[in-house]
Amino acid sequence: MSHNLNLSMKDATKRFLEYLEIEKGRSLKTIENYNRYIERFISFSNVSKPSDITEEKIREYRLWLNRQPGTKVSGETMKKRTQNYHLIALRMLLKYLNRIGYEGAIAADKIELAKIPERQIDLITDKELERLLSGPDTKTLKGLRDRAIMEMLFSTGLRVSELTSLPRDVDMSNGSFSVRGKGEKIRVVFVSDDAKRYVEQYLDKRKDMDDAMFIRVANKSGKKTLDKADSINITPRSVERIIKNYAIKAGISKKVTPHVIRHCFATNLLSNGADLRSVQALLGHANITTTQVYTHVTDKHLHDIHKNFHKKK
């Protein structure tokens, strides 16, 4: 075990991020975020080595985070969940230093996380979902694409980033295919007959040779709007805009995003009797606690069962 007391914050952070990438197999996006959170702490606290991190500095940092403006223009301060992301990064750095035997670092458990209210799931009703899905005009290429996108999201529970990176030649003939999700983990997702039909109709109507399943449709002048490396692959941001527009058209007052459709997928399965572990596997959640946000659905389901079958004799 190394007792290297000359470790600077820069060195400690570099080693920690390399450890996350190599030993823990975390994605580059996660590592980028952790690096940003730790750098934020360093610039706030002015620490030059890990042994400079004290409980008092952490307390001041927590106060400072709590007073930072949030992302919205509403004048709210930074969300507790976002504050926790900053603190988790710092806590994991300290845990790593404790593990490699760096004696100057305080114990990681000295960092307590902010209490956050239970996450509320944004949901739309079955009727609203029906109106949303039937919004596109499937006589046009754009309408077919949009219908195929929404049917795929609802049928598979894919994340929007997973959907937009699907290749054109995905084999859906047996009603399922493999997808590479967060942390490079591969899982199997299942496709409904409707989703399959709309994807096939959309691909048949396309005249281009692009490898991506979902591409941007040329604008009225016939020019395609340029994106990264001149690819015509649709972006997650575009999918968000598409769904938002159809939600407005369908008269849905709630904010509808690709993630809301993913929530609909999960709650639909649970309310029809699927168990939490199966839904966890289908959503690609690494941890069951992430899936437990849906327990309100299973609770209602259990309540109905209890009401129907637990009759007094």
Q: Which residues are catalytic?
A: 159, 182, 259, 262, 285, 294
| Alpha carbon separation from 143 to 83, 135, 139, 205, 243 (Å, rounded) | 41, 8, 7, 11, 12
Rounded to a whole number, what is the distance in angstroms from the first to the last CA of the chain?
Answer: 67
Long-range contacts of 111-119 (CB under 8 A, 24+ apart): 111/58, 111/87, 113/84, 113/87, 113/88, 114/62, 114/66, 114/80, 114/83, 114/84, 114/87, 115/80, 116/80, 116/81, 116/84, 117/80, 119/293
Q: Which residues contact 307 (CB under 8 A, 6 or more apart)?
A: none
Contact 201, 142 (CB under 8 A): no
**Three state DSSP letters for 145-157:** HHHHHHHHHHHHC
* 132: Cα within 13 Å, side-chain hemisphere: 28
User: What would the DSSP string read from start to end of 73-135?
Assistant: TT-PBPPHHHHHHHHHHHHHHHHHHHHTT-TTSPPGGG-PPPP-PPPPPP---HHHHHHHHT-
User: CA-based Rg of the chain, rounded to a whole angstrom?
Assistant: 24
